[in-house]
Structure 1
Amino acid sequence: MARSGFMRTGWLSLITAAMLAVTGCGSTDNQAGTAAATDQSAQQTTTASSEAPPQKETRIVTDGFGEVEIPTNPKRVSALYREDYLVALGVTPIVQYYNPMWGKQDYLKLEVPLFDVTGSVEAMVVADPDLIIGAGEVDAEQYALYSKVAPTFRLPDDVLADTRRTLTVIADLLGLSDKAEQVLADYEARIVDVKAKLNAAIGDEKLVVLRMNVVDKSVNIFGIHNTFVGQILYEDLGLKAPGFAEAMTEGNIVLSKEVIPELDADHIILLPSNGTWEDEGNAKALEEMMADPLWQTVPAFKNGHVYPVERSYWQTGAITANGLKMDDLLRLLAS
């Protein structure tokens, strides 16, 4: 059975006139009075019905947890950590994902209230959404909470791994499939152009993405199956990955020091796990990493091909973010 959506229609009481009691037989006055009262009641009922707001149309869709009833054309939408797709479709979300330990996706430049995902769901109640779109970070418990606020659609895991499918599914939920087709057409054209320029610039040279964890200075390596970079870098743009990253089955893992000398990367995209490279702690950690003799055994470090980048759009595989990644790649590798 589908989970019912929230139909925000107010209750309207219909006031009917009392029928006049007939105390006599064949009384013309009583019959006229009864007719008048009946006409008045009918008029009041018709007026009340015309003032009642029309109920929103809904439809049944299947998400990561089963069937759910959602509005046909939702207007107030929350898509936590997937706001990028709304922006690409020309939709402004009602709130933006925020985590005190990580921040928000600054590159979207949204001017909407922040929703602290570590806080109370009451903030979502205040936002008054028509539809909540969740992703992998929304577990069954959170899903149940969000579903009490508004119809909630949890994107299936197999959809989340594909940028195009994610956009298509979200567009369908919003009734914007035609807009998605145009967005994807522009996206494909951009990929073709950037791929040709990168191929001419670096050919089969190998590129990998690393993330420095600011707490303990450990480094994560993103493999070819990483949802943030795998599809756009290695499938769409045809870039080559170092052997270690290519053999990884996980999306990302902590890179052990023993593996560093074997990392045959010609180019390295490097992002911090939090903050910016201008932050004092991050800047110092980067300086130490660049001077480390162990890292200097890697071709990218040896040849000055390590590129510190802004983290927030490199840690999502969405449409707008991928466009910014392509901007970075052209600037760093093909200019």
Structure 2
Amino acid sequence: MTTRPDRAGDAAGVSRRRFLAGAAGALALVGLTACGSGGSGGASASPTAVGGGKRTITTALGPVEIPANPQRVVCVDHYTPGALLDVGVTPVGVADFDTNALLADYVPRLQGLPKVGKSNEAKPEKVAELRPDLVLGTHLAHAPDPNAESYKAFAPTALFAAKTAGDWKDRALQAADAVGRRAEGEKVRQRYEERAAGIKKKYADALARTKWSMVQGGRSGEWALVLPGSWGGVVLVDAGVQFGASSAGQQGTTKNFSVEQMDALADSDVILVRGNSDGSIAAQVKPVLEQPVWQGLRAVKNNRVFPLPYFNTLHYGQAEAMLNKIEDILKQL
């Protein structure tokens, strides 16, 4: 997953007049709801009335006091929606998303929800319209959400730090905890870890005698190795996969090569190419597969090239889907 730099013109999000009007309107709606008579549904009740108290959690931007039982959660990034669905919580609004970046089973459940704008730069007025009692998102130190302070006018805002690609595991648990589902989040994590350990043990022989590489497209005339420390690379590591020499021990998430450098894959017995959520090969990698030198690789000659979805793993549900695919491949080796 590539994060685009923030545009300077987006920093304000909305004009001061529109922002203050939106904030006032949103807060007025919440106030009217809180003053209404009892017996209304959860979406209409006040956050404090339903939540039954507050608690403080740690976030990337410091401690934040949140409802103990939030009812109207808005996700302003593309990480937390999947993590919430993993523990049985559906947000009332989400940032825009690429369907191929989400677990296929979750796409229908999120497509019908109100959208609040781009991931990590949602529109404050769109967030306010949904009357959230909690806003969740991700804090990228190199590209912070320019509207993070604005969300706080409508609801407690918890942004969790993304320090490395593989720490989506920690942030998934933090998101579950924020909505009062930490126990469920722990169970999801345990299920994933047990599944990965089971594959590592069951297919130890096949894993010991094979080297794997993850490949995606790049700029014209280039391709990239996706490395063990990447979002999806950590899932392969957990399953006991050994990476080829050009990937093993490398820092970062990707390493670029020219098409003339396909020999970087020469020792790979299995090549995983970026796939879509439906299992098809992603369009961005197809030019790589059309290179004449590609056809001479050992893995290609042995029919051991497989599309793998969720290279940019966002949550445990996706990671489990990756493990299922990895096991399917191991059965063929």
TM score, norm. by length of structure 1: 0.71
Q: Is the 8 A contact 2:213 2:243 kept in 1?
A: yes
The aligned residue for residue 24 of structure 2 is none
Q: Is 2:270 the partner of 1:271?
A: no
Q: What's the CA shift for 1:139?
A: 0.9
Displacement after TM superposition at 1:91 (Å) = 0.8
Q: How far, CA to CA, are the matches of 1:169 and 1:192 in structure 2? A: 23
Distance 1:112 1:294 in 2: 45
Equivalent residue of 2:153, what SS? helix
Q: Does the Cα contact within 8 Å between 2:217 and 2:223 map onto a contact in 1?
A: yes
- Residue of structure 1 in register with 2:263 after alignment: 261
- Whole-Å Cα distance in 1 between the matches of residues 304 and 95 of structure 2? 33
Residues 84-130 of structure 1: CA deviation (Å, up to 9, x unaligned): 21111111122233247x86525123242344316633222222222
Which has the larger Rg?
1
Distance 1:116 1:229 in 2: 26
Match of 1:69 among 65, 70, 83: 65
Query: Which consecutive unaligned segments of at least 5 residues does structure 1 have?
Result: 1-5, 14-51
Contact 2:82 2:314 in 1 (8 A): no
Correspondence for 1:198 among 181, 200, 203 = 203
8 A Cα contact 1:81 1:97, kept in partner: yes
Pair 221,242 (structure 1): closer, same or farther in 2 beyond 3 Å: same
Identity of aligned residues (%): 22
Aligned residues: 282
Specify the SS of the correspondent of 1:113: coil
| One-letter identity of the residue aligned with 2:204 | N
| Cα distance in 1 between the residues matched to 2:86 and 2:318 | 10
Cα deviation for residue 272 of structure 1 reads 5.5
The answer on whether the counterparts of 1:212 and 1:273 sit within 8 Å (CA) in structure 2 is no
Q: How far apart in 1 are the matches of 2:324 and 2:73?
A: 29
Q: Return the match for 1:59 from 55, 72, 91.
A: 55
**1:322 positional shift:** 0.5
Please, which of 221, 226, 231 is the counterpart of residue 222 of structure 1?
226
Give the drift of 1:207: 1.2
Deviation at 1:189, TM superposition (A): 2.2
Q: CA deviation at 1:239?
A: 0.6
TM-score norm. by structure 2 comes to 0.72
1:131 aligns with 2:131: no
- Per-residue CA shift, 1:17-63, capped at 9, x if unaligned? xxxxxxxxxxxxxxxxxxxxxxxxxxxxxxxxxxx976552223221
Larger relative CO (CA 8 A, sep 6+): 1 or 2? 2
Gaps of 5+ in 2: 1-26, 36-44
State the 1:142 CA deviation.
Answer: 2.7
Alignment of 1:98-113 (within 5 A): 98-99=96-97, 105=102, 107=104, 108-109=106-107, 110=109, 111-113=112-114
Q: Name 1:94's counterpart in structure 2.
A: 92
Root-mean-square deviation (Å): 3.4
* Contact 1:94 1:112 survives alignment (8 Å): yes
| Contact map agreement 2:103 2:317 (CA 8 A) in 1 | no
Q: Deviations over 1:203-248 (max 9, x none)?
A: 33111222225x747422211111x1232111x1111011221232
Q: Go from structure 1 to structure 2 and tell me whether the alpha carbon gap of 1:76 and 1:205 turns closer, same or farther (over 3 Å shift).
A: same
Distance 1:245 1:71 in 2: 44
Say if 1:115 and 1:195 are closer, same or farther in 2 by CA, change over 3 A.
farther
Given the alignment of the two structures, is residue 247 of structure 1 paired with residue 265 of structure 2, yes or no? no
* 1:284-323 pair list within 5 angstroms: 286=286, 289-310=288-309, 313-323=310-320
